[in-house]
Structure 1
């Protein structure tokens, strides 16, 4: 069963199955997370206060790619 993404995930760190940090969630829309691979300090602060945003360098993570959602989002190892 895939994890459910909500606006509560904005600002969370996304890691791969080996715990390598891939970026932070910049925005959640329709069960998809837009992940910023190189967030600036300002983007970390904006995410921490719940301000969503996306830009052209963000990559898309869908719910079926996620192994777990907790303090961080862990992607499946077989992507």
Structure 2
């Protein structure tokens, strides 16, 4: 698995057919996910203006990632 970078900020995080949130920031290879981002948070993360100081963001465990595409981070089904 490739290390996540700032280029992954703003990507939707999905498990199966369900969206579980959006990456708001990537710091030292760790993605921080907001499970319920509003339009403002979504736009900010796509512009690289993410803010993980929000209490509603959670680190994404690299072991739970199945694949990374141009617009999504897909999680393992067992996660």
Do the two structures share a fold, i.e. TM-score over 0.5?
yes
C-alpha contact 1:3 1:66 (8 A) present in aligned 2: no
C-alpha contact 1:28 1:34 (8 A) present in aligned 2: yes
Equivalenced residue count is: 77
Consecutive unaligned residues in structure 1, runs of 5 or more: none
Q: RCO (CA 8 Å, sep 6+): is it higher in 1 or 2?
A: 1
* 3-state SS in 1 of match to 2:49: coil
The structure 1 segments of at least 4 consecutive aligned residues displaced by more than 6 Å after TM superposition are none
Consecutive unaligned residues in structure 2, runs of 5 or more: none
RMSD: 1.2
Distance 1:4 1:67 in 2: 13
